[in-house]
Amino acid sequence: MEELLLLRHGKSDWRVSSSDFNRPLKKRGRRGATRIGQWLRDHDLIPDLIIASPAVRADATARRCAAAMGLKTSVVVNDGRLYLADLNTLLELLSESSVNAQRVMLVGHNPGLEELLIHLLDGIQPDSEDGKLLPTATVARLKMANSESSQGWQGSATLLSLVRARQLEATNSAA
Protein backbone atom coordinates (compact mmCIF):
# COMPACT_ATOMS: atom_id res chain seq x y z
CA MET A 1 0.00 0.00 0.00
CA GLU A 2 1.34 3.38 -1.01
CA GLU A 3 -1.37 5.60 0.47
CA LEU A 4 -3.92 5.35 3.22
CA LEU A 5 -7.00 7.53 3.54
CA LEU A 6 -8.63 7.67 6.97
CA LEU A 7 -12.14 9.12 6.80
CA ARG A 8 -14.21 9.72 9.88
CA HIS A 9 -17.93 9.35 9.24
CA GLY A 10 -20.07 12.43 8.63
CA LYS A 11 -22.05 14.23 11.31
CA SER A 12 -24.69 11.93 12.75
CA ASP A 13 -28.21 12.82 13.75
CA TRP A 14 -28.59 12.52 17.51
CA ARG A 15 -32.24 13.60 17.33
CA VAL A 16 -33.19 10.24 15.86
CA SER A 17 -34.14 7.75 18.54
CA SER A 18 -32.03 4.71 17.67
CA SER A 19 -29.10 2.65 18.84
CA ASP A 20 -25.59 3.99 18.30
CA PHE A 21 -25.07 1.51 15.47
CA ASN A 22 -28.23 2.62 13.63
CA ARG A 23 -27.78 6.38 14.01
CA PRO A 24 -28.11 8.04 10.57
CA LEU A 25 -26.29 11.01 9.10
CA LYS A 26 -27.62 14.53 9.48
CA LYS A 27 -28.07 16.61 6.35
CA ARG A 28 -24.70 18.23 7.16
CA GLY A 29 -23.13 14.76 7.40
CA ARG A 30 -24.48 13.74 4.00
CA ARG A 31 -23.24 17.00 2.48
CA GLY A 32 -19.82 16.54 4.11
CA ALA A 33 -19.39 13.00 2.78
CA THR A 34 -20.21 14.20 -0.72
CA ARG A 35 -17.78 17.13 -0.47
CA ILE A 36 -14.95 14.88 0.66
CA GLY A 37 -15.68 12.49 -2.23
CA GLN A 38 -15.66 15.39 -4.70
CA TRP A 39 -12.36 16.66 -3.28
CA LEU A 40 -10.81 13.19 -3.62
CA ARG A 41 -12.08 12.93 -7.20
CA ASP A 42 -10.85 16.44 -8.08
CA HIS A 43 -7.37 15.58 -6.74
CA ASP A 44 -7.28 12.17 -8.47
CA LEU A 45 -7.14 10.33 -5.13
CA ILE A 46 -9.56 7.50 -5.89
CA PRO A 47 -8.96 4.54 -3.58
CA ASP A 48 -8.54 0.99 -4.88
CA LEU A 49 -10.31 -0.33 -1.81
CA ILE A 50 -12.88 1.27 0.52
CA ILE A 51 -13.51 -0.51 3.82
CA ALA A 52 -16.23 0.92 6.05
CA SER A 53 -17.74 0.24 9.40
CA PRO A 54 -21.21 -1.24 8.90
CA ALA A 55 -22.69 1.33 11.31
CA VAL A 56 -25.33 3.28 9.39
CA ARG A 57 -23.52 6.64 9.60
CA ALA A 58 -20.16 5.21 8.47
CA ASP A 59 -21.63 3.08 5.69
CA ALA A 60 -23.68 6.03 4.40
CA THR A 61 -20.57 8.25 4.51
CA ALA A 62 -18.54 5.70 2.53
CA ARG A 63 -21.26 5.20 -0.09
CA ARG A 64 -21.94 8.93 -0.58
CA CYS A 65 -18.21 9.55 -0.82
CA ALA A 66 -17.79 6.73 -3.37
CA ALA A 67 -20.69 8.05 -5.46
CA ALA A 68 -19.15 11.55 -5.46
CA MET A 69 -15.89 10.02 -6.72
CA GLY A 70 -17.81 8.43 -9.60
CA LEU A 71 -17.59 4.92 -8.17
CA LYS A 72 -20.39 2.42 -7.81
CA THR A 73 -21.45 2.24 -4.19
CA SER A 74 -21.03 -1.54 -4.38
CA VAL A 75 -17.25 -1.01 -4.13
CA VAL A 76 -17.69 -0.27 -0.42
CA VAL A 77 -16.79 -3.29 1.69
CA ASN A 78 -18.27 -3.38 5.18
CA ASP A 79 -16.17 -4.93 7.91
CA GLY A 80 -17.78 -5.30 11.34
CA ARG A 81 -14.39 -5.01 13.01
CA LEU A 82 -14.28 -1.32 12.05
CA TYR A 83 -17.26 -0.46 14.23
CA LEU A 84 -15.72 1.29 17.26
CA ALA A 85 -12.42 -0.49 16.56
CA ASP A 86 -9.41 -0.08 18.82
CA LEU A 87 -5.86 0.50 17.58
CA ASN A 88 -4.88 -3.20 17.45
CA THR A 89 -7.95 -4.09 15.40
CA LEU A 90 -7.28 -1.25 12.97
CA LEU A 91 -3.65 -2.33 12.58
CA GLU A 92 -4.85 -5.86 11.82
CA LEU A 93 -7.25 -4.54 9.17
CA LEU A 94 -4.47 -2.42 7.72
CA SER A 95 -2.15 -5.42 7.43
CA GLU A 96 -4.81 -7.44 5.64
CA SER A 97 -5.80 -4.68 3.21
CA SER A 98 -2.28 -3.50 2.37
CA VAL A 99 -1.58 -6.62 0.31
CA ASN A 100 -3.89 -6.03 -2.67
CA ALA A 101 -4.32 -2.27 -2.98
CA GLN A 102 -2.16 0.78 -3.60
CA ARG A 103 -4.56 3.28 -2.03
CA VAL A 104 -6.90 2.14 0.75
CA MET A 105 -9.62 4.15 2.48
CA LEU A 106 -10.89 3.22 5.94
CA VAL A 107 -14.18 4.84 6.95
CA GLY A 108 -14.85 4.59 10.66
CA HIS A 109 -15.06 6.15 14.07
CA ASN A 110 -13.14 7.97 16.77
CA PRO A 111 -11.29 7.48 18.97
CA GLY A 112 -9.88 4.54 16.98
CA LEU A 113 -9.10 6.44 13.78
CA GLU A 114 -7.32 9.21 15.70
CA GLU A 115 -5.30 6.63 17.63
CA LEU A 116 -4.33 4.94 14.37
CA LEU A 117 -3.32 8.25 12.79
CA ILE A 118 -1.13 9.22 15.73
CA HIS A 119 0.40 5.72 15.85
CA LEU A 120 1.24 5.79 12.14
CA LEU A 121 2.78 9.25 12.57
CA ASP A 122 4.93 7.92 15.46
CA GLY A 123 3.12 9.93 18.11
CA ILE A 124 3.23 13.23 16.27
CA GLN A 125 -0.14 14.94 16.44
CA PRO A 126 -0.87 17.34 13.57
CA ASP A 127 -1.81 20.88 14.53
CA SER A 128 -5.43 21.92 14.38
CA GLU A 129 -7.01 25.25 15.21
CA ASP A 130 -9.73 23.77 17.41
CA GLY A 131 -7.75 20.93 18.97
CA LYS A 132 -9.77 18.29 17.12
CA LEU A 133 -7.69 15.99 14.99
CA LEU A 134 -10.40 14.11 13.08
CA PRO A 135 -13.76 15.81 13.48
CA THR A 136 -16.64 14.36 11.47
CA ALA A 137 -16.25 14.26 7.68
CA THR A 138 -12.47 14.72 7.79
CA VAL A 139 -10.03 12.73 5.70
CA ALA A 140 -6.37 12.22 6.51
CA ARG A 141 -4.18 11.29 3.54
CA LEU A 142 -1.04 9.37 4.46
CA LYS A 143 1.95 8.25 2.42
CA MET A 144 2.94 4.85 3.71
CA ALA A 145 6.51 3.63 4.06
CA ASN A 146 7.44 0.03 3.47
CA SER A 147 5.35 -1.72 6.11
CA GLU A 148 7.69 -4.72 6.14
CA SER A 149 10.30 -2.62 7.92
CA SER A 150 7.90 -0.92 10.33
CA GLN A 151 7.24 -2.88 13.47
CA GLY A 152 3.57 -2.62 14.26
CA TRP A 153 3.29 0.12 11.61
CA GLN A 154 4.36 2.75 14.18
CA GLY A 155 5.97 5.69 12.43
CA SER A 156 5.33 4.15 9.01
CA ALA A 157 3.48 7.12 7.51
CA THR A 158 3.84 10.74 6.52
CA LEU A 159 0.82 13.02 6.62
CA LEU A 160 0.20 14.51 3.16
CA SER A 161 -3.04 16.32 3.93
CA LEU A 162 -5.81 16.65 6.46
CA VAL A 163 -9.02 17.90 4.84
CA ARG A 164 -12.24 18.78 6.61
CA ALA A 165 -15.55 18.98 4.78
CA ARG A 166 -16.28 22.21 6.67
CA GLN A 167 -13.14 23.77 5.17
CA LEU A 168 -14.30 22.78 1.70
CA GLU A 169 -17.72 24.26 2.40
CA ALA A 170 -16.12 27.55 3.50
CA THR A 171 -13.87 27.56 0.42
CA ASN A 172 -16.82 26.93 -1.92
CA SER A 173 -18.99 29.64 -0.36
CA ALA A 174 -16.12 32.17 -0.50
CA ALA A 175 -15.68 31.60 -4.25
CA distances from 134 to 76, 99, 166 (A): 21, 26, 12
Residues sharing a CB contact under 8 Å with residue 16, sequence separation 6 or more, in sequence order: 23, 24
Residue 164: how many other CB atoms lie within 10 Å: 21
Residues sharing a CB contact under 8 Å with residue 86, sequence separation 6 or more, in sequence order: 112, 115
57 in a labelled binding site: yes
Query: Are 62 and 52 spatial neighbours (Cβ–Cβ below 8 Å)?
Result: yes
Three-state DSSP class for residue 19:
coil
Please report, in range form, the residues annotated as the binding site: 57
Please report, in range form, the residues annotated as the binding site for substrate: 57
